[in-house]
Amino acid sequence: MDAATECAEKPHYRPGRPIVMIGPMAVGKSVIGSELARALGIEFVDTDQRIVAKHGAIPRIFSARGEHHFRQLEARAVAQVLDAEQPKTVVLSVGGGAVLDSGTQQLLAKTTVVFLRATLETVRERILRTSGRPLLAADPVETWSRLAAARGPVYARLADITIDVSNSSVPELVTQLISMLAEESRKENPEQ
Ligand SMILES: Nc1ncnc2c1ncn2[C@@H]1O[C@H](COP(=O)(O)OP(=O)(O)O)[C@@H](O)[C@H]1O
Ligand SMILES: O=C(O)C1=C[C@@H](OP(=O)(O)O)[C@@H](O)[C@H](O)C1
Ligand SMILES: [Mg+2]
């Protein structure tokens, strides 16, 4: 691909705020967030990865200390990234339940929030074959559906951008997201 074609497909876009990936479990927040950061040439942080690096596996945290303790670690991990005086230009992927914390919700107001939506069919194989999500240990399909439905209004309310990730590859979604982020930024700063 020559430089002109690449430029046409990937609009020049430099984020002015942190970009935060939210949505139900297994929709691709971690993998798409990481690839988006790479494409934009900016830092990537995943709160679950930070918690695991510092405190060990998530199922173990849930069983040893309880979900409430995990939520405290999660809220703290979000705040460490977003509460900085000058939040860095970063893509931040959070766990599916992180947005239920009111402090986190306030911090998200100063970011560009991307809500990743997917059908149950898209995530079905992923949640059946993977372990590591303690909330899905029993009856993963039913539990995923119930949590996605219950949290859906919160994701929708917080979102600046909503993207359906059901039928596209990760590279396709990254390209689509960069266009959507550039468009959102033009809406916020029409003079640019
Ligand atoms: N668009 C996609 N196409 C194919 N596989 C995907 C896609 N998005 C995510 N995945 C895969 O689904 C699984 C869950 O993705 P992950 O990023 O961990 O989700 P989340 O962080 O939202 O829980 C991973 O194995 C990932 O590679
Ligand atoms: O939805 C949730 O409550 C959770 C989602 C998980 O992250 P992913 O959404 O990245 O799977 C992880 O934080 C933990 O297992 C709890
Ligand atoms: Mg994740």
Q: What is the CATH number of the domain that holds 140?
A: 3.40.50.300
24 belongs to a structural domain = yes
Token pair recorded at residue 68: 């409430």
Query: Quick check: 84 pLDDT over 90?
Result: no
In this prediction, residue 3 carries a pLDDT of 47
| Per-residue pLDDT at 116 exceeds 90 | yes
Contact 115, 158 (CB under 8 A): yes
Position 58 in a domain: yes
Atom number, ligand 2, closest to the C-alpha of residue 46: 10
- Given CA atoms 99, 89, 44, 38 in this order, what sign does their dihedral have? positive
Q: What is the pLDDT of residues 10-44, one digit of tens each?
A: 557 889 899 999 999 999 999 999 999 999 999 99
Of all protein residues, whose CA lies closest to atom 11 belonging to ligand 1? 28
Residues 6+ apart with CB under 8 A from 58: 48, 51, 52, 70, 132, 133, 134
Q: Note the pLDDT of residue 119.
A: 97
pLDDT in tens, 52-69: 999 999 999 999 999 999
Asked whether residue 4 is assigned to any structural domain, the reply reads: no
Q: Is there a domain that residue 167 lies in?
A: yes
User: What tokens appear for 147 in the block?
Assistant: 């949590």
Q: For residue 42, count CB atoms less than 10 angstroms from its CB and return exposed for 0-12, middle for 13-18, buried for 19 or more.
A: middle
Distance, CA of 51 to CA of 112 (rounded, Å): 23
Q: Please give the structure tokens belonging to residue 125.
A: 């194989």
| β strands within 54-130, DSSP E | 90-93, 112-117
Where does ligand 2 bind, in terms of residues with CB under 6 Å? 25-26, 29-30, 48, 58, 95-97, 133-135
Whole-number average pLDDT of the chain: 92
Dihedral angle of Cα 59, 62, 64, 68, to the nearest 10 degrees? 160
Any domain includes 103: yes
Range of the domain at 142: 16-180
Nearest-atom index, ligand 2, CA of 24: 9
Cβ-based neighbours of 46, under 8 Å, separated by 6 or more:
30, 33, 34, 92, 93, 94
- At residue 88, the pLDDT reads 66
- CB distance 19 to 111 below 8 Å: yes
Share of the chain above pLDDT 90, in %: 83
Question: Is 11 domain-assigned?
Answer: no
97 is in an annotated binding site: no
Q: Which ligand is nearest to the CA of 74?
A: 2
Report the domain count for the chain.
1
Show Cβ contacts of residue 190 under 8 Å, excluding neighbours closer than 6 positions: none
Q: Is 99 in contact with 22 (CB distance < 8 Å)?
A: yes
pLDDT of residue 105: 98
pLDDT higher than threshold 80 for residue 6: no
pLDDT for the residue 24: 98
Asked if the interface predicted TM-score (ipTM) of this complex is over 0.95, the answer is: yes
Q: Is the pLDDT of residue 7 over 50?
A: no
Whether residue 36 is contained in a domain is answered as: yes
48 marked among binding-site residues = yes
Ligand 1 centroid – CA 126 distance (Å): 8
pLDDT (0 to 100) of residue 190: 76
Residue 148 domain flag: yes
